[in-house]
Chain A
Amino acid sequence: MGKKRFSLLLALVLLCTCMPAMAATYSKTTRDLIRIISTTTDNGTPLALFIPEPGAKGVFEDEFDGIETYMTKNSSMLDYFSKDVKTAIAALQPQGADLSKLTLTEYTPFQRTNYDPVMGTVVATIAFASPFTADQTLAVLVGYVGKDGKMVWIPLEAAVTDGSLALSFPPEVLKELPTDIVIAVLS
C-alpha cells in the first residue's frame, strides 16, 4: 500500500474513532451559559481565571443571601453598598445615568491564580447568562473577603461586547485580590 493511501486510511480511521467522542458531548446546563471568553494582559500572558465547581455554603453565599433579603425590602440595589462604593460606582457611569433601578442580575464566584504584577491591567471578557446591550446601565463589582472577614466590593470598568462583558482589572485592584473572588453585575 502506498504512503499516500496509508495516510488517507489512517486519517479515516482516526476520524471514525474521534467522531463518537465528539458526538457524546455532555448536555449543556444553565451553568454553562457563563464562560470566560478571554483574558488579555499587558505582557501577553493570560490570567488563569476559572469558575469553580459549586461548593459548600461560604461567605459568598452568605453575602448573596444578605443581598436577597435586602432586596425584598428595598428597591435600590445601590443602597446596599457603603457610601464609598456607591461613589466609586457613580464615578464609572456616564453623565445622567439612572442608577436607582439597578438590581442584581449576575453573581458568579471565580478563582484566579498566576497573577504577576508584570501583567499590568487585565481585561477579562466573560459571557454571562444575561444578555447585555451597550445602551444598558450597568455596574460591575468584584468582591472578596477582606482580612477582617467582611466582604470588600470594588467597582470595575465594563464594556459590552456581543452581549458579553469586558471587565478591566487595574493592577492596584489585582494585587489586592485573593484567589477566590465573586463578580456581581447590577443592571
Chain B
Amino acid sequence: MKEHWRQGKHDRISELKSTLMIFVIVILFALAMYVVGQQIESSSESAEPHGDLSRRFTQVPAVEYGDNLYCPHTRLTTILVMGIDQYAADASQNTFYRNGGQADYLLLLVIDDEAKTITPIQIDRDTMAEISILGVLGSEAGTRTEQICLQHGFGDGGKQSCEFTQQAVSRLLLGVQIDFYVALDMGGIATLNDAVGGVTLTLQDDFTSLDPTMLPGATLTLHGIQAEYYVRNRMNIGIGTNASRMVRQQTYWEGLASQLMTRLETDGNANFIGNLFDQLKPYLITDMKRGRIINEAWSTRKYERFSTLHPEGTYSTGEDGFVEFAANPAALSDLVIQAFYSKVL
C-alpha cells in the first residue's frame, strides 16, 4: 500500500512538472511572439493614425485685405484653358524652343466644390507679365516682362510650353494655385464646335470677307471653320482689336458651355464628354486624365456659372509698336480676393 501511495505521489509530481513545463513553454512562446512582433512593427513605416482629430481645429491662414480678413476657399479646382494660335502640324516642326505658338486665348476656370460655383477669369493675351525665356537650345535664360501670350511660344510647344504658361498666369494672379491646364490648338476649334451641334449666336461684326453668310446682325449656328473665324480672326473684323475679339470669345465660350451642360442633362450621363475628349485628342495638350475631365464636367454640370471676370487695366502701344495691356495691380488683387477668398465674418 505504501508503495502504491508513493507511486501515486510520484505520478502527481510528474504531472505537475509537465503542466508547469507546458505553461512555461506557452509563456515563452507568447513572449517570443511579442518581441518579434514589436520588432516587425518598429521596422515598418509608422501607420497613419486613424480617427486623429488633433488637426480638426487647425486654422486655414487668413489674409488681411483692406479693412477685412479673408480666408481662402479650401475646395477649389482651377483649370487653365488655352487656345493656341497654331496648328498641331506647325508645332511638330518646333525648333529653337521658341516656336510653340502663342496662347491667344486664356481662361482660368475657378471651380468651387463647396459653394458649387464656377468663376471664369479671362486674361487678355496682351497682358504684360513676367515670362520665362529659353535659349535656342532650351536652357533657361532669365525672365522679362512681355505679353503673356508669348510664354507658350517658349518650350516644346506641348507640355513644357503649357507648364510655363501655367506658371506665368499664376504669377500674374499673385501666386494662386493652378491645378491643371487644357490647351487646344486651332485645328480643334471646328471639331469642338461641331461636336456640340454648333454654337448659335448673333454676329455683331461683319465677317463676310471670310464667309458671305456671316453678316453683321445675323443670328446663326456656327459650323466648321465659321467657329474658327469667329473666335480667332480679328484683322479687318470690326475695329480689329484683341479686346473686341475677347468679347466674341466670351460670347462663344458662354454659348458653348451652355450647350455642353444641356447635353449632359439631356443624356443623363457623361459619355458625351468622353467621346468629345477622344475626338479632340489630336488637338489637345492637357495634364488632366480623361476620367478626370469626364468627372469634372459631370459633377459641375449644375454649378452656378458666374459672369466672366476680366482684370481691369489700360491699353497702350509699346516702343516696339505692339499693343500692351497693363493690368491694374489693385484691381488684380480685388479679382483674386473675389475669386479665391471669402470674407471672415
Question: In the assembled complex, which residues on chain A have CB atoms less than 8 Å from the CB atom of B153?
Answer: 29-30
Chain B residues, Cβ within 8 Å of A106: 135-136
User: Are A28 and B139 in contact, with the CB atoms below 8 A?
Assistant: no
Q: How far is the CA of A23 from the CA of B141 in the complex (A)?
A: 32
Is B66 part of the binding interface, using a Cβ–Cβ cutoff of 8 Å? no
Q: Is the CB of B141 within 8 A of A27?
A: no
A28 contacts B147, C-beta separation under 8 Å: yes
CB of B49 closer than 8 Å to a CB of A: no
Which segment of B235-243, B253-261, B331-339 sits at the interface?
A: B235-243
Tally of chain B residues near chain A (CB < 8 A): 36
B50-58, B95-103, B178-186, B203-211: which one contacts chain A? Answer: B95-103
Neighbour of B137 across the interface among A71, A129, A131, CB < 8 A: A71
| Contact residues in B for A110 (Cβ distance below 8 Å) | none
What's the tally of chain A residues with a CB closer than 8 Å to chain B? 28
Shortest CB-to-CB span from A102 to chain B, Å, is: 11
Residues in A whose Cβ lies below 8 Å from that of B137: 67-68, 71, 103-105
- Judged by a CB distance under 8 angstroms, whether B192 is at the interface is no
B139 CB contacts on chain A under 8 angstroms: 103, 105
Those of B308-345 within 8 Å (CB) of chain A = 317, 320-323
Contact present for B322 and A25 (CB under 8 Å): yes
Does B240 lie within 8 Å of A130, measured CB to CB? no
Shortest distance between the CB of B206 and any CB in chain A (Å): 13
Proximity bits, A99-132, B CB within 8 Å = 1, else 0: 0000111110000000000000000000001110
Contact between A64 and B136, CB atoms less than 8 A apart: yes
When A20-B239, A24-B240, A107-B96 are in contact, do A29 and B135 touch as well, CB less than 8 Å? Answer: no
Interface status of A163 (Cβ within 8 A of chain B):
yes
Q: List 5 A-B contacts (CB under 8 A).
A: A24-B239, A25-B321, A25-B322, A67-B137, A129-B98
